[in-house]
Homo-oligomer: A and B are copies of this chain.
Amino acid sequence: MVGRSSEFDRIDRFLKPLAAGFQGALGLVDDAGVLTLPASQSLVVTTDAMVEGIHYLAGEPPDRLARKLLRVNLSDLAAMGAEPYCYTLTLALVPDVEDSWLAAFVAGLASDQAAFGIHLLGGDSVSTPGPTVLSVTAFGRVENGRMILRSGARPGDAVLVSGTIGDGALGLRVARDGVPGLDAEHVRFLAGRYHLPDPQVQLGQALPGLAAAAADLSDGLIGDLGHICRASGVSAVVEADRVPLSAPARSMIALDARWRKVALAGGDDYELIFTARPDALAAIQAVAEGCGVQVTVVGRIVEADGQTPEARMIDAGGTTLKGLDGWQHF
């Protein structure tokens, strides 16, 4: 069968090189990998899957797709304050997938393995009539008791975000539908932020002991802050005017003010949202500068006051903005 490999050939040709040099992967010749940790460290484990046609389009370049798959998982590790370590890969592929597609997919993985210092530990490859389903389980390391949880927010905490908000959501519209009148450089920036997020791996590792609670932004600012609120039993108020927007996002909003709500709802930024006691803010600004990352206070944690914990965003007049609750896949 020209241009296609059997499952075992595939593992040999495409996946084994990704595990080379990482002892725990056992050369992918066993059906399992092995990890050892010093007693002072804990292992953080996270899983994210992507389905063709739901989370990405069929024509997505496979190298970029592979990198995004890794990065959305690395973003979860960053939110816990963990150092990236290794990952397992589960591929449900259509039988007629070309070796050239696999080669590009693997090249993307190899590139980000090097960029983020992670290794392939193992995985499984199965056949499906389609759509393709790609899943990564990522492993990070953190000193015992130092991981940042969603449940640590307390009334009086500041709410902060890294980077700029809304670029991913706007970038999806730019990439999928086009936005007439938008500067070509801004098109590239926004589409790039959607296609290939830049997880805050370095900042995340600097936050244990400084951040009280954290999540990564995959369901939108209010959606993900809502997860923190429910886990912590608190509520949160975010001021829309304090949410940091990139210059390209501001340009797009200048073309049509309705894009502002898309930006504020967000959904695919893979920035960090976190809370901190006020006395930690100066230290946080210092470590963020050290990472070359902008962090911005956008709101505060308040008592839930017997109500269901919730996150909300208010405009300059104090009115709550509606319809920003984040994406639900179903």
Contact = CB atoms under 8 A, between A and B. Distances in A.
Interface stretch (A57-65, A146-154, A158-166, A294-302): A146-154
Contact of A49 (B55, B90, B122): B90
A225 interface: no
B51 A127 contact: yes
Nearest to A227: B29
Contacts of A246: none
Nearest to A326: B8
Contacts of A122: 45-47
A166 B80 CA distance: 46
Interface stretch (A32-40, A108-116, A180-188, A278-286): A32-40
Contacts of A147: 34
Copy number in this complex? 2
A31 B51 CA distance: 19
Contact of A39 (B4, B39, B44): B39
Given A8-B328, A35-B42, 13 more contacts: A31-B150, A32-B45, A32-B77, A32-B82, A33-B44, A34-B43, A36-B144, A37-B43, A46-B122, A51-B126, A54-B127, A54-B129, A124-B135
A54 B127 CA distance: 7
B329 A90 contact: no
Contacts of A128: 51, 54, 131, 133
Interface residues of A, number: 67
Contacts of A178: none
A317 B276 CA distance: 77
A7 interface: yes
Contacts of A127: 51, 54, 329-330
A186 to B, nearest CB: 31
28 contacts: A29-B150, A30-B151, A31-B150, A31-B215, A32-B82, A33-B44, A33-B45, A34-B42, A34-B43, A34-B80, A35-B42, A36-B37, A36-B43, A38-B39, A39-B39, A43-B43, A45-B121, A46-B122, A47-B88, A47-B122, A47-B123, A49-B124, A50-B126, A51-B127, A53-B129, A55-B126, A90-B90, A127-B329
Contacts of A124: 47-49, 135
A253 interface: no
A199 to B, nearest CB: 12
A288 interface: no
A144 B35 CA distance: 10
